Amino acid sequence: METHVKVIAAFYIVCGVMLIMGAFFSQMLLGLVAGLVSQSDEEGAAAGAAIVGVAGVWLMTMLLALAVPFLAAGWGLLKFRPWSRILGIILAVICLTQIPFGTLLGIYALIILFKKDTERLFAVPAVSM
């Protein structure tokens, strides 16, 4: 089971890094579009550029906000932290909506993270006196 958990952790870390890259590339692309729109002599070009710029900032913020839990869950799963199993399950459910690869990752993660053997890996050891 440890290997399966580490594979899920690696996928979550890769997803987090891809979300960060997507956030910066989308911001760059929408910033470029906003700059091109603002150069136009058309009426309302400044308003359109502002809207595209705000959309770029919003998209970047949302992607970064989604990347943080993926990176945290990946790190926690690698270290077998008890909280990371719950976060991994939540992210697996979110992944189910991202057809086709996210769905496959979500199903795989849910199957592995709900197994009793996996649950024992994340159990907090009792403190003995």
Nearest to 16 by CA among 67, 52, 61, 55: 67
Domain membership of residue 97 as a residue range: 2-121
Q: What is the count of structural domains for the chain?
A: 1
In a domain, 13, yes or no: yes
In a domain, 128, yes or no: no
Q: How confident is the model over 66-99, as pLDDT tens digits? A: 999 999 999 999 999 999 999 999 999 999 999 8
DSSP letters along 20-38, please? HHHHHHHHHHHHHHHHHHH
pTM score of the predicted model: 0.84
Rg (Cα) of the chain, in Å, rounded? 20
Q: Are 92 and 5 in contact (CB under 8 A)?
A: no
In a domain, 129, yes or no: no
